[in-house]
Amino acid sequence: MLSSLSHLQLVAFGSATLGVVSGALGSFAVLRKQSLMGDAVSHAALPGVMLVFLLWQTKEPLALVLGAAAAGWCCTLLVLLITQTTRIPPDTVLCGAMSVFFGAGVLLQTYIQKAGVGGASQAGLDRFIIGNAALLLQRDVELMLVLGAATLAVMLLFWKEFKLLSFDPAFAASIGRPTRMFDILLTTLLVIAIVIGLQSVGVVLMSAMVVAPGVAARQFTHKLGRMVALAAFFGGASGVAGTLISDALEGVPTGPAIVLCATAIVVAALLFAPERGLLSRWRRRARPAISKELGQVGDAS
Amino acid sequence: MFAFVTNFDMQMLAVLVAAACALPGAFLVLRRMALITDAISHVILLGIVLAYFIVRDLKSPFLLVGAAIGGVATVALVELLQRTKLVKEDAAIGLVYPALFSVAVLLVTMKAANVHLDVDAALVGHLSFAASRKVQMTATSEMPLSSLVMAVVLTLNVAFIAACYKELKITTFDAALAASLGFMPVLLNYVLMTLVSLTAVTAFDAVGAVLVVPMMIVPAATALLLTNRLAEVLALSVLVAIGAALGGFWLATWANANYAGAIAVVLGLEFAVAWIAAPRRGLIAGRLRRRHQYREFLETLLAIHLLHHEGTPAESEESALAGLHRHLRWPQKQVNRVVGWATGDELMEARDGQLVLTATGRELARHMLGQAHVG
């Protein structure tokens, strides 16, 4: 079925997939205040990809995805360990770990380039930095679809547990739910969602695709189901729109185009969403209706 | 020796960049503002691009100003987003900088593709290129322009920290007190942020935006594993940073790879070594300390057991070596080990199959019991 699509359609399809999956799982990250973990995982994935190529000289999408996921996971674990065993502020640990991993990735990539490892096939590895969806092949999109679908399926399967984990982890633990296990599972799903998008959007910008759809959706509803669905829609739409724009304009890489579409959606949501939106807030302030104002106090997410 | 001399300029530049970054970075770490460096370093490209569009000259110092402004603007934007109360801090940062970076990349690829504003170089820098642009210092010697600029920035940072040391110290560790004493912490903060921006922009040329982040915060994180006194943290940060600059340079030379990436890796390695081996706060030290405490604990239990039965009719039964495992309910192996430790530490001695407390041991046990019976 995929082979019948034109190249542009294929790329748009891939971008839509990444948008949907990262939007959906990113919603959980936003709710659990783990937006920066998405950032860390993306940056940390770079050395994973490079190491896989260095050791096995393959650009097989599954191999690269596994390498990226392993590196991202390693970084997350390391951050956790360091935070638990030292008094260094957690934000420093996160930032430091992710930028050191990224630096290692850059080191490996330049080494691969200069040493000519793997011959000509190493060209195009640098697209992992800011992304280039135009280089997506059919096998890449196939993998994205399979992994994306699997991720969403697991998310739906354990929906109730993830919902509980996101909103009241203490309660979940107190009624004997294995919160640790679901925490790890949800984190793994997020890692997968991130790594399938790296080729299109790149490590530097991927965090926006995790955060923006979720934040935008949050402005319209506080129900988890609607938020996730809406976020998935926003993410997918950004993916497609960004790809089309990048194709229409000369020399514009897909990563920034997709991210800017997602950002535009967020800005629109922040301004125009009913009730929570800034525009409606300003209008309410201009016409003081006491009962309405009393009802709107305390809008923090 | 020859290789060292020709690489001298590059190493000098790397060292200057490292030192200049480590100093304000230490305060960022202590103020829990590490994430802002991430945001600033990504936005700098946009500042430079916009400034370039205004002056159309890659060598203009106005680029510096533009980028520095961009840095401070990021902080303001993130704070603005937070103030709407619709977005939390972490999400705000994750939104702002990719968006602004995307705008920068878009502008570069669309409007300035023919100009040498390479996005890759913006990310990871170009140390050898930066070191090759020389400027005449005296009649006979010349120096890389970037090194000169970096030296100036380093001096500025040192001067600021020296001049405002007390104020920085108070506002970092007790912001409320500082405000109540009239130290204007907000102003100080913005001055610090401006210096951070300036440092990031000038370092940008050599090591790129993204690698400014670890150079600012990892040395201070490493230093925090070795001390908790501010002056020492600052000094150690600079040392660690310089070490990484030189180490990274040689690593990159040996591996024929990017300097900035190598420096970041060495920073990570330095941190890892400190994390594991630091004298009091390292993992090994912690392990040893816990093991020592555990040993002390068991020895004390044994001593207390002996004291408890000293002078009572049951003493010969309770203090007999053979029966200890029953009375204490310890596995025999543990009994043997603890007895070995305790006798080695001269807390007790074995006499005819009995354990007898020494004066030291008795005092220890009494001391512990005395504490337990307070009040």
Q: Which whole number is the average pLDDT over A253-275?
A: 89
- pLDDT for residue A301: 47
Query: Could you read off the pLDDT of B202-247 as tens digits, one per residue?
Result: 887 778 776 889 999 999 999 999 998 999 999 999 999 999 999 9
| Cβ(A99)–Cβ(A43) below 8 Å | yes
> How would residue B259 be classed by pLDDT, with cut points 50, 70 and 90?
confident
| Cβ(A51)–Cβ(A108) below 8 Å | yes
- pLDDT for residue B354: 83
The residue of A77, A107, A249 whose CB has the most chain B CBs within 10 angstroms, and thus the best one to mutate to test that interface, is A107
Question: Above 60 in pLDDT, residue B23?
Answer: yes
Question: Above 50 in pLDDT, residue B375?
Answer: no
Domains of chain B: 2-277 (1.10.3470.10), 284-372 (1.10.10.10)
A103 interface with B at CB cutoff 8 Å = yes
- pLDDT for residue B314: 79
Is the Cα dihedral B256, B259, B265, B270 positive or negative?
positive
Chain B hits for A130, Cβ within 8 Å: 105, 119
Which of B37, B94, B252 lies nearest to residue A39, judging by beta carbons?
B94
Least confidently predicted of A221-230, B185-194, B231-240: B185-194
Cα nearest neighbour of A105 on chain B: B261
Share of chain B above pLDDT 90, in %: 28
Query: What angle do the packed helices B212-224 and B185-207 form, to 10 degrees?
Result: 120
Which of A85, A92, A107 lies nearest to residue B262, judging by beta carbons?
A107
- Beta strand B134-136 with B348-351: parallel, antiparallel or unpaired? unpaired
Q: Are the Cβ atoms of B32 and A91 closer than 8 angstroms?
A: yes
Q: Are the Cβ atoms of B86 and A39 closer than 8 angstroms?
A: no
Greatest Cα pair distance in chain A:
71
The CA distance from A142 to the nearest CA of chain B, in Å, is 27
Greatest Cα pair distance in chain B:
99
DSSP B357: E
Question: Above 80 in pLDDT, residue B78?
Answer: no
For residue B126, CA distances in Å to B152, B204, B255 come to: 20, 9, 16
Cα nearest neighbour of B251 on chain A: A107
Query: Could you read off the pLDDT of A81-104 as tens digits, one per residue?
Result: 999 999 999 989 999 999 999 999
Tokens standing for residue A110: 């330049």
At B137, phi and psi to the nearest 5? -95, -55
The CA distance from A1 to the nearest CA of chain B, in Å, is 33
Summary count for chain B: helices (H), strands (E): 19, 4
Domains of chain A: 2-287 (1.10.3470.10)
A107 interface with B at CB cutoff 8 Å = yes
> How would residue B2 be classed by pLDDT, with cut points 50, 70 and 90?
very low
ipTM over 0.90: no
Cα nearest neighbour of A260 on chain B: B99
Chain B hits for A227, Cβ within 8 Å: none
Question: Above 80 in pLDDT, residue B268?
Answer: yes
Per-residue three-class SS string for A45-94: HHHHHHHHHHHHCCCCHHHHHHHHHHHHHHHHHHHHHHHHHCCCCHHHHH
Question: Above 80 in pLDDT, residue A266?
Answer: yes
Strand, coil or helix: B142: strand
- pLDDT for residue B184: 80
Question: Above 50 in pLDDT, residue A215?
Answer: yes
Share of chain A above pLDDT 70, in %: 91
- pLDDT for residue B211: 80
Q: Are the Cβ atoms of A260 and B106 closer than 8 angstroms?
A: yes
Chain A hits for B283, Cβ within 8 Å: 85
Cα nearest neighbour of A279 on chain B: B84
Question: Above 60 in pLDDT, residue B1?
Answer: no
Q: Which whole number is the average pLDDT over B298-315?
A: 85
Least confidently predicted of A135-149, A265-279, B84-98, B235-249: B84-98
Chain B hits for A207, Cβ within 8 Å: 94, 98
Q: Which residue has the higher pLDDT, A191 or B124?
A: A191
Q: Are the Cβ atoms of A251 and B113 closer than 8 angstroms?
A: yes
* Residues B279, B285: Cα–Cα separation, whole Å: 6
Least confidently predicted of A252-256, B39-43, B82-86: B82-86
Q: Which whole number is the average pLDDT over A3-20?
A: 88
The CA distance from A3 to the nearest CA of chain B, in Å, is 31
* Residues A214, B92: Cα–Cα separation, whole Å: 12
Chain A hits for B33, Cβ within 8 Å: 91
Which of A96, A110, A115 lies nearest to residue B214, judging by beta carbons?
A96
Q: Are the Cβ atoms of B86 and A278 closer than 8 angstroms?
A: yes
Chain A hits for B42, Cβ within 8 Å: 204
Question: Above 60 in pLDDT, residue B374?
Answer: no
Chain B hits for A89, Cβ within 8 Å: 29-30, 32, 34
Of residues B244, B269, B310, the one with CA closest to residue B21: B244
Q: Which whole number is the average pLDDT over B121-131?
A: 64
Q: Which residue has the higher pLDDT, B179 or A267?
A: A267
- pLDDT for residue A129: 76
Least confidently predicted of A47-61, B239-253, B261-275: A47-61
Q: Are the Cβ atoms of B211 and A106 closer than 8 angstroms?
A: yes
Contacts from A268-275 at CB under 8 Å and sequence distance 24+?
A: A268/A216, A269/A215, A269/A216, A269/A217, A269/A219, A269/A220, A270/A215, A270/A216, A270/A219, A270/B84, A270/B86, A270/B87, A273/A219, A273/A220, A274/A220
Chain B hits for A91, Cβ within 8 Å: 32-35
